[in-house]
Structure 1
Amino acid sequence: MAKDLEGIQQAAHEEVDRHLKEVYADPELTAAHHEQLTKVWKLIQSSKTPPHRIMPWRVRLYCGHIVMTSCHAENDKPPRSTKCPECRKGPSRIVAFEPIGLAGEPPNSQTATPSAPRKSSRAELERRIAALEEKNQRLRDEQAI
């Protein structure tokens, strides 16, 4: 089965190489190819997952090494296996894991700076002053008695 997979992989590489040779042989196809790649790259960049939706995980691999990996925060577990950066075994099965915490702070409308209070109009201020002066006069009259 491994030989079948290697054969398929080799055939795919050869097909891609053949296609790219055809594309790069024609200047018009090359320009169109680069234009399409630019569009695809912009699309990939625009849909990048924000950090507050990424969960980093500390994982122990079957090979014994402890490494970091990450996946979307909606997942309750990391992927089942990953390539070990230390011994290069890949894929190596994840045998234990723990979440570290979100990669970034979520945007929160409650922690945003409050907007400046609305300034009162002159008429509102004058009414407030008149009411306070009346109250002040009433309190003076009560103390006099």
Structure 2
Amino acid sequence: MEEYALTRRDHSRQKQSEESCERVRRQVDEDVAKCRADPARAERRRQAFENVAKLMQSFKKQDHEIMRWRVRLYCGHIIETEAHYTYTDPIDAGGYSKRCPECGKDGLTIVAFEPIGLRGEPPEPTEPTPPPPPKKPTRAELERRVKALEEENEHLRAELSG
């Protein structure tokens, strides 16, 4: 990953990321201005963020569910990032745009990556033994059951007729 050469696609994705970051910054600035002008709106926004934070905490994942990735950012620096193990790569996991802790640039795209491994070892399986499959009745048992049902049927018909 250290010798990775940027491609046209990398440059294009980085440009799109920068443009997207700029649009988001403008939207955030507009929203902040609206919240400053309207305290009720600011309180609703604060409450919404608080609710989202609580919700995110409720989805805490176990260490064995988190994959660690070594990623190279557009700026050339290599960092580690994490994502749920079900994602095939850190870009699909929403990690396509990062802030570099080394140079401080924001909105950097991931241009290369490699998995490091899970954050923790999966627990030993503790599968309970499955219940034994139901025993198939023997022919004699089935014949007795049929005979009993036929007798019950005859008894019910006699009650209804008479």
Instruction: State the TM-score, normalizing by the size of structure 1.
Output: 0.49
Instruction: State the TM-score, normalizing by the size of structure 2.
Output: 0.45
Larger Rg: 1
RCO higher in 1 or 2 (8 Å CA, sep ≥ 6)? 2
